[in-house]
Amino acid sequence: MNIYSIHDPEFIPYGKVLEGYDTTCLLNAMKAIPLPETGVAYEPSIPALEATCVYGQFQNNAYGGMPVQLGMCWGRNTMLNCLEYHRDSEVNVGAGDFILLLAKQDEIVGGALDTAKVKAFRVPAGAAVEVYATTLHYAPCHVNAEEGFRVAVVLPRGTNTGVPGAKPMNEEDEWLTARNKWLLAHPESSEASQGAHIGLKGKNIDISGEI
């Protein structure tokens, strides 16, 4: 699988690099949080990260004054497993280089997406990257197994918390697994075994051979 850079033209449909942000304070705060022993951890809102100097800039500039949460996804991962989307953009910042596996919402056909549509993009440490609302994404991948990854996740406050509990009105409602989180799972993933909508067909991508 080819791994593009977020500075390559191939990234243009999926997101953009946000200019002008000094993320040094955020990187230092992320590095102070130990990696999980195995797998991947995620917290939607982490007070130590929201206390950094860049939090207000993300809220007031990147999100135009809307209330946001600043959390983190961190650990070790090389697999696709699932793809999710929100009704808004997500901003990511890595304490080190990391890789995003991305697809587009308009590539979902009949409630499923062919994983052959997925593209990989390497993100350099410290860059603030906007992932568009129409871009499918999930847990980042590391580029170094020993170092793992630590990726800040900025989203509208409340995203990825509790299940809304609304009565489904259409097929897409069946994919809602948390607030503002629609999920497509690969049949080989743990999420699928826990009842998530099986919406990925084809190979469950593993980039371990490319890093």
Residue 208 falls inside a structural domain: no
Q: What is the share, in percent, of the chain residues with pLDDT greater than 70? A: 100
User: pLDDT-derived band of residue 177, with 50, 70 and 90 as boundaries?
Assistant: very high
Work out the number of other CB atoms within 10 angstroms of the CB of residue 162: 8
What is the reported pLDDT for 164? Answer: 84
Residue 127 falls inside a structural domain: yes
- pTM metric for this prediction: 0.97
Domain range spanning residue 53? 3-201
Residue 188 falls inside a structural domain: yes
Q: What's the whole-number mean pLDDT along residues 22-48?
A: 97
What is the reported pLDDT for 24? Answer: 98
Residue 97 falls inside a structural domain: yes
Judged against a pLDDT cut of 90, whether residue 81 lies above it is answered with yes
What is the reported pLDDT for 165? Answer: 83
The one-letter code for the residue type at 71 is G
Segment 4-22, tens digit of pLDDT: 999 999 999 999 999 999 9
Segment 100-133, tens digit of pLDDT: 999 999 999 999 999 999 999 999 999 999 999 9
Residue 180 falls inside a structural domain: yes
User: pLDDT-derived band of residue 66, with 50, 70 and 90 as boundaries?
Assistant: very high
Residue 93 in 3-state DSSP? strand
Residue 211 falls inside a structural domain: no
User: What does the mean pLDDT of the chain come to?
Assistant: 97
Half-sphere exposure of 99 (CA within 13 A, CB side): 26
Cα–Cα distances in Å, from 58 out to 27, 29, 126, 143, 174? Answer: 14, 16, 14, 26, 31
What is the reported pLDDT for 192? Answer: 97
Judged against a pLDDT cut of 90, whether residue 166 lies above it is answered with no
CATH of the domain at 21: 2.60.120.10
Q: In this structure, are residues 10 and 4 in contact, taking their beta carbons and an 8 Å threshold? A: yes
Note the helical H segments in the chain.
Answer: 24-31, 47-50, 55-57, 190-193
Count of domains forming the chain = 1
Query: Which has the closest alpha carbon to 102: 124, 90, 118, 87?
Result: 118
What is the reported pLDDT for 86? Answer: 98
Residue 210 falls inside a structural domain: no
Residue 209 falls inside a structural domain: no
